[in-house]
């Protein structure tokens, strides 16, 4: 069974891989659009969005056309640090009355207030999923948590983040990962959008 959180070595490895993907995606977009980016003058802003849905194996989905609905709160721990911008906290987003098979709309968890140097990606962990599901047989409560050392294993465990392929959509280019619960088979998809911006000198 996979551990429910990333070790620091895993975080460093995932972050390094993601940094490589950002550089590759930036180069590709610059080539495709016919423009070039001066990385000495250009900085970056992060925008973190997420969505949630039920995996096809979820016990709440009894049929392919299942219309079970859910209202869930997702907590995301965010650690993002640069010279010009520092943030650490646990942010909660509510996904209300969405169709589980289809999934929720993407919602904003956090974004940088200002442009900053390219100093690696934020470190992110899904720390809780709480709420209820309206499925066949009535209402079912959901309370999922990651594994923690020295504590009893949660009944519905949140797995470690699994990196997904990077991509581009109408919001911009992004790096993505997901986390899945062991019992309810809910999947949280998180995207870190990387937005180029003009880098201004920080006042001493």
User: Do the domain assignments include residue 203?
Assistant: no
Phi-psi region of 131 (alpha: psi -120 to 50; beta: other; left: phi over 0): left
User: Do the domain assignments include residue 31?
Assistant: yes
pLDDT at 11: 38
Domain of residue 136: give its range.
8-198
Q: Count structural domains, the chain.
A: 1
Q: Say how far apart CA 71 and CA 80 lie, in whole Å.
A: 28
| pLDDT band at residue 30 using 50, 70 and 90 as cut-offs | very low
User: Do the domain assignments include residue 181?
Assistant: yes
pLDDT at 22 over 60: no
Q: What is the mean pLDDT of residues 33-44?
A: 60
Q: How far is CA 142 from CA 4, 33, 61, 63, 184, in A?
A: 17, 45, 15, 20, 8
User: Do the domain assignments include residue 106?
Assistant: yes
pLDDT in tens, 109-165: 999 999 998 888 999 999 999 999 997 778 999 999 999 888 899 999 999 889 999
User: Do the domain assignments include residue 2?
Assistant: no
Q: Say how far apart CA 82 and CA 112 lie, in whole Å.
A: 11
Record the tokens describing residue 115, joined without a space. Answer: 């442009």
Minimal CA–CA distance to 68: which of 103, 100, 102?
Answer: 100
pLDDT in tens, 161-201: 899 999 999 988 999 999 999 999 999 999 999 999 988 75
| pLDDT band at residue 19 using 50, 70 and 90 as cut-offs | very low
pLDDT at 94: 98
pLDDT at 63: 67
Q: Which residue has the higher pLDDT, 104 or 38?
A: 104
* Tokens 């969005």 belong to residue: 49
Apex 108 CA angle, 106 and 112, nearest 5? 145
pLDDT at 135: 79
User: Do the domain assignments include residue 129?
Assistant: yes
- Cα atoms in the 13 Å half-sphere on the side-chain side of 4: 19
């Amino acid at each position: 069974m996979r551990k429910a959180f990333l070790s620091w070595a895993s975080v460093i490895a995932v972050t390094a891989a993601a940094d490589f993907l950002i550089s590759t995606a930036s180069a590709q977009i610059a080539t495709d659009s016919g423009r070039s980016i001066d990385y000495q003058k250009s900085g970056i802003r992060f925008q973190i969005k997420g969505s949630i849905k039920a995996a096809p194996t979820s016990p709440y989905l009894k049929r392919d056309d299942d219309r079970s609905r859910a209202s869930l709160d997702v907590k995301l721990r965010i650690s993002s640090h640069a010279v010009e911008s520092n943030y650490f906290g646990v942010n909660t987003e509510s996904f209300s009355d969405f169709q589980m098979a289809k999934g929720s709309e993407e919602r904003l968890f956090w974004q940088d207030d200002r442009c900053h140097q390219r100093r690696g990606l934020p470190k992110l962990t899904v720390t809780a999923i709480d709420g209820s599901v309206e499925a066949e047989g009535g209402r079912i409560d959901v309370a999922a948590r990651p594994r923690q050392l020295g504590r009893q294993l949660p009944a519905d465990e949140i797995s470690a983040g699994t990196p997904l392929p990077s991509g581009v959509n109408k919001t911009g280019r992004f790096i993505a990962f997901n986390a899945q619960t062991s019992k309810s088979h809910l999947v949280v998809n998180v995207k870190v959008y990387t937005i180029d911006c003009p880098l201004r000198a920080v006042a001493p």
